[in-house]
């Protein structure tokens, strides 16, 4: 996947190192190797590889990771523009 890179500096991924307990769950579930565990704390090593799937945030037991998950699908995004973010949207 290293030969597929998408836009930089766009991800909503945030890591609060203070809260992190070093359980390494984020590193396990991330399909793009965004995290690594160093000195018993998680660290973001490849932020721009993040595709905001939300696996890390869902599996962080102390809510140290946050991300706005979503569907990276054009027709979905067009519908959110038209109907608003909270609308019920039928998609792909």
Binding site for other proteins (CB under 8 A): 1, 3-7, 10-12, 25, 28-33, 49-55, 58-59, 61, 68-78, 91-92
Which residue, 3 or 39, has its beta carbon nearer to other proteins? Answer: 3
Residue 60 corresponds to which tokens in the numbers above? Answer: 């962080």
Smallest gap from residue 92 Cβ to other proteins (A): 5
- How many angstroms separate the CA atoms of 81 and 46, rounded? 30
- How many angstroms separate the CA atoms of 12 and 18, rounded? 18
Phi, psi torsion values for 43, nearest 5 degrees: -140, 145
Which residue, 41 or 53, has its beta carbon nearer to other proteins? Answer: 53
Smallest gap from residue 52 Cβ to other proteins (A): 4
- How many angstroms separate the CA atoms of 40 and 61, rounded? 15
Which residue, 41 or 69, has its beta carbon nearer to other proteins? Answer: 69
């Amino acid at each position: 996947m290293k030969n597929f890179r998408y836009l930089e500096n766009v991800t909503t991924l945030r890591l609060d190192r203070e809260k992190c307990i070093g359980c390494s769950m984020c590193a396990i579930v991330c399909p793009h190797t965004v995290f690594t565990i160093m000195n018993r704390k998680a660290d973001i090593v490849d932020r721009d590889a993040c595709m905001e799937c939300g696996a890390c945030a869902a599996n962080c037991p102390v809510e140290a990771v946050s991300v706005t998950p979503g569907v990276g699908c054009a027709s979905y995004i067009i519908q959110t523009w038209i109907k608003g973010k909270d609308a019920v949207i039928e998609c792909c």
